[in-house]
Chains A and B, each alone.
Chain A
């Protein structure tokens, strides 16, 4: 009897999450429907107009999809030189030592800093540096946002990669050493090939984090509604346009913002799914 109740409670608890997720999708789709119907799904995806003129409103998601993909991709590129060495340090070279434990704790700590703090740091510290270096006159832009995003996703990429690097079987490494391989060669020819798909998936999950980041990006990207023509110019990401305009939006604009939210949801879900599949493959291998 007790067992049965327990089972029912568990079942209900397990059911809540899929229901919530389904509810989110349902709400997004119904509220975004007006925009998709008015502009057409593909037209909405590929139009770069974002114009408020009453009676002739034109909303397209392309500038924001571009902005999101640019910041995310750049953040990923900037994050590799920081996260990969940390992962190797913690997972291989100083595996199990005190200093590795300290380093991994400090890196994980970065994940706990609220994004508004990163935003403020970027706004008051990084932006003036970018202006002084004459990279861009206004300081804000895709580059500034990406640099801060890169720091934000380092802990996600580093700690998961370190786990996969730790999981590389010792026999393989010892075999390589016995054949006279140097440490660098072991890293290159044994660890990377074996842990490769695991490391790859940890970066995919880090991307998932960067895609939806809102506060930091809103503070640093410059918030202009056009496709950035270079990495130093200003733009808007999908999350930041929603944060910027949700409060005042109405009617078709509100629906278009929710449609952008829906597209962001799809992209994030897709990327997370790829990450999960890669992890499963890595575990099996």
Chain B
């Protein structure tokens, strides 16, 4: 049933694109309609990039922000050209599908946004965040919070944690970080796209969580940085492995990725030990099939898909990242991705020379 629903949705999206497509590009091929689906986390970035891409190349890109898991499922059903995901696929998930390639598109941060009267700067550590979301720290004036924030006047009010009610890559990145910094969190809750948070309230999607925090006094929640910024909600500085309290911005997020990156770019960069790194940073990926000939896709469509990915990796697109509060990819990640893209084939023949 779900499959039929997704197919109908994709069809509707495709029809919408056909209605406004038709122009051709300078690359000697006809303009294509690409469709992708997945993470909402990089959506603001993708909106700008896809718009620019279609102006440059004439190809239209439709992206449905249906969540990382939904995007991967659509890719598995072979009804999209690419999936967007904030969580890389595990070896087990990879084994269940045809060979895939992960291409990081930009970097982002999950921020701890809060709503507290009279507190303009809040500092948190990983263990404290874990205890807040586990329900062990219940009041804002808990001694551990006061110790981290000697200058702030924290109210004697109950903390209201806000989390995601839907499965989400943002939740995965956040709980992946908590699992690394807190043994208590690792043994009781673990990391995943859906986690059984014991206290607080939940809302759907990044915009939903941001909306609830903005409207609820004494609340705290995790959202993609862009969403906290758009809603003008303050967010906390977080203590990294080196003991620095770091604010999420393009520099601190990029710093988190300056360590080693594996050849397939599948890695978690939370809790980075680099100086100045924001600890809850992540890559966000687009995932495509290594063999592009599936579901009656044409060669031109496959080329357009690769053109899109190469455009996203280009300096022109990467410069947009910081405008929309993400961070550009480190050079290493771009090099690896270009190498990986060269292995993409159509009927077994490499597309890029």
User: What residues of chain A have their CB less than 8 Å away from a CB belonging to chain B?
Assistant: 27, 31, 50-54, 123-124, 127-128, 131, 137-141, 218, 222-225, 234, 236, 243-250, 254, 258
Contact = CB atoms under 8 A, between A and B. Distances in A.
Given A248-B168, A250-B73, 5 more contacts: A139-B216, A222-B202, A244-B202, A245-B165, A249-B167
Interface stretch (B116-124, B188-196, B290-298): B188-196
A240 to B, nearest CB: 8
Given A222-B201, A234-B201, A244-B165, A53 B70 contact: no
Nearest to B65: A247
Nearest to B73: A250
Given A53-B190, A137-B158, A248 B67 contact: yes
Contact of B196 (A52, A248, A254): A52
A248 B195 contact: no
Interface string B217-232: 1110000000000000
A131 B167 CA distance: 28
Contacts of A140: 201, 212
A51 B1 contact: no
B69 A247 contact: yes
Given A137-B160, A245-B167, A254-B2, A131 B204 contact: no
A258 B215 CA distance: 32
A218 B208 CA distance: 11
Nearest to B208: A219
B166 interface: yes
B203 interface: yes
Given A137-B160, A224-B200, A248 B1 contact: no
A131 B217 contact: yes
Interface string B197-217: 100111110000001100111
Contacts of A247: 66-67, 69-70, 166-167
Contacts of A250: 69, 73
B166 A244 contact: yes
A223 B167 contact: no
Contact of A123 (B158, B165, B195, B215): B215
B157 interface: yes
A139 B204 CA distance: 16
